[in-house]
Chains A and B, each alone.
Chain A
Amino acid sequence: MVKRSGFREKWGKMPPGRGVGLACSTYLTGAGHPIYWNDLPHTGVQLQFDRSGAVVAFCGATDCGQGSDDVLAAMIAEVFGLTTNDIRLVTGDTGITPVDLGSYSSRVTLMMGNAAIQAAERAKALIAEAVSKKLEIPLDRLVFAGGRVFDASDPAKGLTWQDAVIQGEAMHGTLGSTGSYKPPAVPAKYKGGGVGPSPAYSFTAAVVEVEVDKDTCFLDVKKVWIAHDIGRVLNPVLARGQVEGSVYMGLGEALMEESAFRRLPANLSGALVHKQPSMLEYKSPTTLEMPEVDTIFIEDPDPNGPYGAKEVGQGPLLPMPPCVANAVYDAIGVRVDESPITPEKIAKAVWDKEHGREGRFGPKDFPVIEWPEASKVKTPAEGGDGTASNEKPRKSKLMASGFRLAPDSPGAKVEGVRS
């Protein structure tokens, strides 16, 4: 990232009014626990096979544009050696599909993907058994690829996908399978330890180049470079769209989007009213505000991800506001510590700096919070087992009434993941 953007050559060395900023971030790929803790899987996929060779996948996951339908089809197609066009999908209708907890928390690709692979591998085992018996090929030599099921040592010997499904149905009766996913149990057993853990974390680094107008402090973002550790890219076009969309949203937050309220005069009503209740006033960047974006994917497959994939939908948004703030500092030597970073705020900080005060706008300090005593937890290397040594034993009303927390047994064993 630093190399690609020329950060070292630019930082502190650009002409006045121009500057670069760098920021890094990390984000979760779904939460380890659902909002209401229970033992149930977070997602389920059901497959139905037809003697025509048709594969129908049912899943509650909702594609709201991020491409989860494509991921679902791709996971199943990969296991069977088919293409995504061969898989029919029924998604989002919880009246006829297994539950998926929803499109939030950047969780769908990892969770639904793992469930889809589990369902497909279970069905593949049934079909493989039938084909192996019919063609007298040992199970470990069977390959599912290119729309066929064949002998690895004699590729001509095999069946078309449709015939393989027919053999499966002849041996086992009507074919179907299910898969589901629940994240691995969280090792933390101390109070609060269940909040935030995720099966996988993404990492993002970004560099932004800006120009600040010397007279007015008007801010213009020239270019964005962004690298995202996605584990594995499942669909390059859609993955890039998620990154660029995140950059866009992050820039909106960094530059202009604000939900401001103002108080009416006390002698009139003192009411608090929304200042920007329309799309004209709540400003989102237009095509003219969108800078060029150079997107780079770092592919380091994650052991918990389907084929190593992890999130891309939200993480790339996170570095944008600090990146812009850092770039403004490099360009004009003042800091704005709150978003949106507007020309008014930059101008105020510049004015303060010119008048001998600190060139800084925003909250001056962190609010005072009465923190409780910190939990003391030994690391695994120190022989810790995830419990805190200074925590009083707890028994909530809920647990006394017979409600069970998720067991600590390792959950979500995914069968047959090839990575």
Chain B
Amino acid sequence: MSNPHGTGADVTGRARVKMTVNGDPTDVTFGGHKTLLEVLREDLNLTGTKHGCELGECGACAVLVDGKPVLSCLMLAVEADGAKVTTVEGLADEARLHPLQEAFADCGAAQCGYCTPGFLVTAKALLDAKPKATRKEICEGLAGNLCRCTGYIQIFEAVETAAAKMAADGVKK
């Protein structure tokens, strides 16, 4: 496979990137037209990240790229070369759930669960940026994620619960 430009799709339509996914160095070859979402789900079997509207209108596919919450359905996978990607699978510490995951379960913040991975990673970025986020800040920070089941209130409460627990435990980012 020759590629004069180092990364990305060549004339054969295949592309190869090296990225860090949930802490693991990952070298993956894939159809060069794919989005990061498609590569995560189809080539790396990380199906926790959900395929929602495909057009940036719902937030279900959010992942962290270099710590920023972005929509993996709108990021071409070739663009992730060299990036640090965190998906919902990367939140738990081995068998120990992230405080956000625990709080989402306890507070009823997940019903059908389809939006949950997107909410979890966005909420993580939000608490990383603002560990003592107010209700208003949580509401504004999560305004790019749609939830059809909960009416959001229990999601806000879960983020607040997790924030309090993380503050009490001194959990690092």
Residues on A lying within 8 angstroms of B by beta carbon are 64-67, 237-238, 240-241, 244-249, 278-280, 284, 286-288, 290, 292-293
Q: Is the beta-carbon distance between B139 and A288 smaller than 8 angstroms?
A: yes
Q: Is the beta-carbon distance between A65 and B55 smaller than 8 angstroms?
A: no
Chain A neighbourhood of B112, CB < 8 A: 64-65
Chain A neighbourhood of B154, CB < 8 A: 237, 240-241, 244
| Binary per-residue interface labels of chain B (25-63) against chain A in the complex, 1 for a CB within 8 Å, 0 otherwise | 000000000000000000000000000110101100000
CB distance from B79 to the nearest CB of A (A): 23
Which single member of A238, A247, A286 contacts B108 (CB below 8 Å)? A238
Interface centre among B57, B106, B140 (most CB of A within 10 A): B57
Chain A neighbourhood of B55, CB < 8 A: 278-280
Interface centre among B142, B146, B151, B154 (most CB of A within 10 A): B151
Q: Is the beta-carbon distance between A237 and B108 smaller than 8 angstroms?
A: yes
CB distance from A301 to the nearest CB of B (A): 23
Q: Is the beta-carbon distance between A245 and B113 smaller than 8 angstroms?
A: no
| Binary per-residue interface labels of chain B (145-161) against chain A in the complex, 1 for a CB within 8 Å, 0 otherwise | 11011111110100000
Which single member of A244, A284, A292 contacts B146 (CB below 8 Å)? A284
Chain A neighbourhood of B52, CB < 8 A: 279
Give 5 A-B pairs besides A248-B148, A290-B152 with Cβ atoms closer than 8 angstroms.
Answer: A67-B111, A241-B150, A244-B150, A287-B145, A293-B153
7 contacts between A and B (CB under 8 A): A64-B112, A249-B148, A279-B55, A280-B57, A287-B152, A288-B143, A293-B153
In Å, the complex CA distance between A286 and B52 comes to 15
Which single member of B53, B57, B148, B149 contacts A241 (CB below 8 Å)? B149
Q: How large is the interface on B (under 10, 10 to 19, 20 to 34, 35 or more residues)?
A: 20 to 34
CB distance from B59 to the nearest CB of A (A): 9
Interface presence of B107 (CB below 8 A): yes
Which residue of the partner chain A has the closest CB to B112? A65
Interface presence of B100 (CB below 8 A): no
Chain B neighbourhood of A240, CB < 8 A: 108, 154
Interface presence of B110 (CB below 8 A): yes
Chain A neighbourhood of B150, CB < 8 A: 241, 244-245, 248
CB distance from B161 to the nearest CB of A (A): 12
Which single member of B110, B111, B142, B148 contacts A287 (CB below 8 Å)? B142
Q: Is the beta-carbon distance between B111 and A245 smaller than 8 angstroms?
A: yes
CB distance from B149 to the nearest CB of A (A): 5
In Å, the complex CA distance between A65 and B108 comes to 10
In Å, the complex CA distance between A238 and B150 comes to 10
CB distance from B135 to the nearest CB of A (A): 9
Which residue of the partner chain B has the closest CB to A243? B151
Q: Is the beta-carbon distance between A279 and B53 smaller than 8 angstroms?
A: yes
Q: Is the beta-carbon distance between B139 and A287 smaller than 8 angstroms?
A: yes
Q: Which of B120-173 contact A (CB under 8 A)?
A: 139-140, 142-143, 145-146, 148-154, 156
Chain B neighbourhood of A288, CB < 8 A: 139-140, 143
CB within 8 Å for A279 and B111 given contacts A287-B145, A293-B153:
no
Q: Is the beta-carbon distance between B148 and A284 smaller than 8 angstroms?
A: yes
Q: Is the beta-carbon distance between A286 and B151 smaller than 8 angstroms?
A: no
Chain B neighbourhood of A280, CB < 8 A: 53, 55, 57
Chain B neighbourhood of A244, CB < 8 A: 150-154
Q: Is the beta-carbon distance between B58 and A245 smaller than 8 angstroms?
A: no
Q: Is the beta-carbon distance between B143 and A293 smaller than 8 angstroms?
A: no
Across the A-B interface, give the 6 residue pairs with the lowest CB-CB distance, nearest first: A65-B111, A248-B151, A65-B112, A244-B151, A241-B108, A237-B108
In Å, the complex CA distance between A287 and B136 comes to 10
In Å, the complex CA distance between A279 and B156 comes to 23
Chain B neighbourhood of A293, CB < 8 A: 151, 153
Interface centre among B52, B113, B139, B150 (most CB of A within 10 A): B150
Which residue of the partner chain A has the closest CB to B155? A287
